[in-house]
Amino acid sequence: MLKSKVINGWNLFWLISLPISSAVILKMTKVDLSTARGVSSMIEIAVRCAVPLLYVTFAASAVNVLYPGDFGRWILRNRKFLGLAFAAAMAWQLTFILWMVTRHADHYVNRIYALSDVIEGIGGYTLLIAMTTTSFKFGRSRLTPKQWKILHTVGIYWLWTYAFITYWWYLFYSNQPLVINYIYYWMGFLAWGMRMAAWTSRRWQKANGEASGVATWLPGAAVAIVGLLGVTFGSPWGKAIYDFGFSIPALNTIGVYTPYFPFVPYYPLVLMMLGAGLALKIRQQSAAAG
C-alpha cells in the first residue's frame, strides 16, 4: 500500500495541499475579513493546518532510524513532499499576515507587534523560502551538498523552534489553553524526542558497552527525567526565570532584538540531551574498561 502512486511523490503533495486550501477557502467565506478578528482567525487556521506537517517532516529521518522498514522508508522518501505541503500551508498564513499588516495596521501595531517576534517570523519565512527553492533541482544546483544540508538543518530547527515555543506559551501562560494547544505542544515535543532518541540509539549501539547494567544508563536517565518534568510542568519554574531575567536591564534590552530569548522552553530539552550524553559516556567507559 505504501508503494501506491496515490500516496507518494507529487500525488501525496496534492492529496494534502488541496484539502488544506479548500478548508482555508471555505473558512474565508464564513468570516468577516474586513475585521482584524476575522483575519486573525484565518492566520490561526492556516497555522493549525501547517504545524502537523512541520512536525512530521522534522521527525522523518528519526522515524526511519527508530522504525526501519516500509513505513520508515516511505516517510523518508516523501519527506520533500511533506515539507512542500507544509510550505504551501504556510503560504496561506503569510498571505493573511500581510493582509493584517496592510489592512489592519493599527491593530497589528497596537496589539500584536513585537520586534523580536518580527525577527523570528522574517527569519523563519526567509529560511522556508530558501528551503523550498532548494528542494528543486534549479535551486539545489546552486549549493554544495554541505551548504544544502546546513540550510535545511538550520531551517527545520528554526521552524520547529518557532512552533514549539508558541505552544509552550499557550500552555503555560494562557489562562485557558485549548485542547488543541496541548496536542500540538506534545506533538512538537514528540517530534524532537524522536530525533534525540534516534541520535542516542545510533551512538548507543556503537559504544558496545554492557547494555544490561543498570549503572550504565541510570544516571543519565535520572537527568533526562528531570528534563522531562521541566517539559511537563513549565509554568512555575519558567515564570521565575523569565521574571528574573527580564528584571536585569541588559537582558531586557537583548530580549527586544533576540529571537526566542531567553530560551526558557529549551532548558529541559538541554537537560534531556545531557542525560543521553551522560548515559553514552558511561557506556563508552564501560566498554573501554571491559
**Region 226-239 average pLDDT:** 87
**Region 139-161 average pLDDT:** 95
How much is the mean pLDDT over the chain? Answer: 90
**Region 13-29 average pLDDT:** 96
Question: 26-65: per-residue pLDDT in tens?
Answer: 999 999 999 999 999 999 999 999 999 999 999 999 999 9
Cα angle: 72, vertex 275, 238; to 5 degrees:
100
Per-residue pLDDT at 288 exceeds 80 = no
Confidence of residue 12 (pLDDT cuts 50, 70, 90): very high
Per-residue pLDDT at 7 exceeds 90 = yes
Cα–Cα separations (whole angstroms), residue 49 to 95, 165, 267: 14, 17, 28
Question: 185-232: per-residue pLDDT in tens?
Answer: 999 999 999 999 999 988 887 776 555 566 667 888 999 999 999 999
Write down the pLDDT at residue 78.
Answer: 96
Write down the pLDDT at residue 262.
Answer: 80
The structure's pTM equals 0.91
Per-residue pLDDT at 286 exceeds 70 = yes
Contact present, 280 and 140 (Cβ < 8 Å): no
Top-confidence range, 32-36, 82-86, 119-123, 232-236: 82-86
Q: If you ran DSSP here, which 8-state letter would residue 175 be given?
A: S
**Region 175-189 average pLDDT:** 93
Confidence of residue 174 (pLDDT cuts 50, 70, 90): confident
Residue 78 CB: number of other CB atoms within 10 A?
22
Q: The cell 522508508 sits on which residue?
A: 73
Q: If you ran DSSP here, which 8-state letter would residue 5 be given?
A: G
Start-to-end C-alpha separation, the chain:
47
How many whole angstroms separate alpha carbon 186 and alpha carbon 154? 22
Write down the pLDDT at residue 203.
Answer: 84
**Region 225-246 average pLDDT:** 85
Confidence of residue 290 (pLDDT cuts 50, 70, 90): low
Write down the pLDDT at residue 213.
Answer: 60
Write down the pLDDT at residue 269.
Answer: 95
Write down the pLDDT at residue 257.
Answer: 81
Least confident of 87-101, 103-117, 178-192: 103-117
Provide the greatest CA pair distance for the chain: 72
Rounded to 10 deg, the angle between the 36-66 and 9-28 helix axes is 160
